[in-house]
Amino acid sequence: MTTAFRKTIKTAGLIGKYQSPEVAESLPLLAACLAESGVRVLVEETLAGQVKVSHGETASYEAMGRLADVAIVLGGDGTMLYVARRLAEFGVPLAGVNLGRLGFMTDIARHEMLAGVRELLAGRFTTEARILLDVKVWRLGVPIFDSLALNEVVVNKGDLGRMIEMRVEVDGEFLYLLRADGLIVGTPTGSTAYALSANGPILHPGVAGIALVPLCPHALSNRPITIGDGSRIEVSLLPPHDGRVHVDGQTRCDALTGDRISVARAHHAVTLLHPPGYNYFAMLREKLRWSEPPRN
């Protein structure tokens, strides 16, 4: 469910994909537009070292989290995933300018960037909350890895050329023993990402669910299942298999036989900002090329 974004924007953070010619071209224009509108501009420090910007101050993610009323992300979905995890604890709303390919989470088209920012400053955007997953890897009762996921957590075979075996439990109840290449634990946001390519269900962001999607299961009866987003999932690697845990395809942990991976809804959430006219189903039709109009 979306609501109007009425907050007065006094400070905006700008974050973009590193080493990108498109970002290098777009960032100075965006910073100038914001500054001319009386908005204080913070440019993420690594990006500021790569792109010359006349308007704006250099800021770390932590400073941006404390000071910014909104963060504008230039790039694709991968950039948005990274930024969302870095700023999750601060609750900064995120607006995305799509400089990537699909752009499921970056709604502002590059050629409409400046007009979109003016709409944002005028209070015409809407907000939408997206859940995060908290993932931990436990070894002999001690946590050795802790991260947040906006799209998915994947437990897979790593570099092995064979299947692995896992025990999967939901809220302490045994679900199944899974022999497969791996298992995806996906959010509604991530249901149109890796999980979709593995024949997982598309979950509307308003659905309070988490999808469990097996990767190439040995038993064809192991099908995707959606559980409540208040559930806790535990995956144990059974002997003699080691594996690997991937978070949003951007960070990972090598797991050993006997390790336990716990996944649950995080306390933090991500707030995405959408431009006027945004519609989730229209976005799906565009990105997935559904329902082309019939030809007479």
- List active site positions: 77
- In whole angstroms, what is the distance from residue 48 CA to residue 38 CA? 20
- In whole angstroms, what is the distance from residue 122 CA to residue 275 CA? 11
Alpha helices in 122-243 (DSSP H): 194-197
Distances (CA, A) of 261 to 39, 156, 210, 237: 44, 12, 16, 8
Which amino acid type is present at position 277?
A: G
Strand partners, 253: 245
- In whole angstroms, what is the distance from residue 193 CA to residue 80 CA? 13
Taking the mean position of all CA atoms in its chain, how far away is CA 65? 17
Helix/strand/coil for 193:
coil
Nearest Cα neighbor of 94 from 1, 3, 13 is: 13
Nearest Cα neighbor of 236 from 150, 147, 141 is: 141
- In whole angstroms, what is the distance from residue 153 CA to residue 131 CA? 13
- In whole angstroms, what is the distance from residue 147 CA to residue 253 CA? 10
Residue 272 sits at φ, ψ, to 5 deg, of -95, 140
By DSSP bridging, strand 182-186 and strand 3-4 are unpaired
57 CB neighbour count, 10 Å cutoff: 14
By DSSP bridging, strand 243-247 and strand 152-156 are antiparallel
